[in-house]
Amino acid sequence: MPQEASAILSNLGRYFSLSDDDRSLLLELEKDRHSMAGKSALWQAGDKVDKLYVIQSGWAYTYRDKFDGQRHIIDVLLPGDIIGLRDLTFATHKTSARMLTRGMVSIFSHKCIVDIIDGSTALTLALLASIARQEAMLNERMLMAIHHSARSRIMHFIIETHIRLNKLNPTDLHQFYLPLTQAMLGEVLGLTIVHINRTLASLERDGILIKHRHHIEILDEQRLIVEAEFDSDYLSDEMDGLKEYLKLTKA
């Protein structure tokens, strides 16, 4: 199996190079592959926590239902992302998770994670890095939600998503796949459909971007990045400090 076929390998491997042992540990995790339909559930809030999921292909998301029927989408997950790390150390899920599109998902037990932590310091650090990246995205979104307009928030999310896609495959910024409906965009960003729609209309009027049904078309990259006040620091894959210690440990 070529290394590129393993989604989790290219995810965890981006922080530093992994040993062959580490690689085979990871490949082990991906044996149990399942094809999932779009919108199918991975778990529901309240379920006992005992599995982790890795997206091989397709998009997924985690969310929380609110008392009043509203839904809040917490993260949008792409191929290679590990779903469920957030709840790993809780007894029951606080969130629910679903596929957004159809796709292929690997499922493995929590025991495997304990085995990884037990067996490989490098992989454990890579896991920590992966958790930290997901958390950083949330953090950034919170900052945007609290301090910025709907317009900036939408632009910010679109840039962020493009950068993530681009890390998986070179992706044209001027035209890329984005299967979220306006309603879901609203659920991610904490805005109403109506307002999302109005704001997208104004972005199109201003010649910045057009949100088509299943893809985004960027018209004015420069204004997009400037107006979104986008700073990609928080998506960095660098983790120099720890790499150093890791070598010490192995020596």
Stretch that binds its own copies, among 31-39, 144-152, 170-178, 193-201 (CB under 8 A): 144-152
Distance from C-alpha of 202 to C-alpha of 199, rounded to nearest angstrom:
5
CA distances from 97 to 14, 65, 229 (A): 25, 11, 30
7 contacts 80 by C-beta, under 8 angstroms: yes
88 contacts 110 by C-beta, under 8 angstroms: yes
- The answer to whether 121 contacts its own copies (rule: CB under 8 A) is yes
CB of 4 to DNA, least distance (A): 29
CB of 66 to its own copies, least distance (A): 6
Under rule CB under 7 A, which residues in 193-232 are in contact with DNA? 193-195, 197-201, 211, 213
Q: Which does 49 bind (CB under 5 to 8 A by kind): DNA, its own copies, none?
A: its own copies
Q: Strands of 96-99's sheet, edge to edge?
A: 41-43, 96-99, 60-65, 71-77
CB of 242 to its own copies, least distance (A): 6
CB of 116 to its own copies, least distance (A): 10
Looking at the Cβ atoms of 121 and 175, the one nearer to DNA is 175
Q: Strands of 176-177's sheet, edge to edge?
A: 176-177, 215-218, 209-211
CA distances from 13 to 26, 31, 126, 176 (A): 10, 18, 8, 25
Which of 101, 103, 21 lies closest to 57, judged by CA?
A: 103
Within 10 Å of residue 140's Cβ, how many Cβ atoms?
Answer: 19
Stretch that binds its own copies, among 21-29, 125-133, 169-177, 200-208 (CB under 8 A): 125-133
Q: How many residues does the chain have?
A: 251
Q: Residues 111-150: x/- map of binding to DNA (CB under 7 A)?
A: -------------------------------------xxx
The footprint of DNA on this chain (CB under 7 A) covers a number of residues equal to: 20
> Which of residues 74, 83, 178, 224 is near its own copies by CB under 8 A?
74
Q: Residues 155-174: x/- map of binding to its own copies (CB under 8 A)?
A: --------------------
Query: Which residues would be at the binding site for DNA (CB under 7 A)?
Result: 148-151, 181-183, 190-195, 197-201, 211, 213
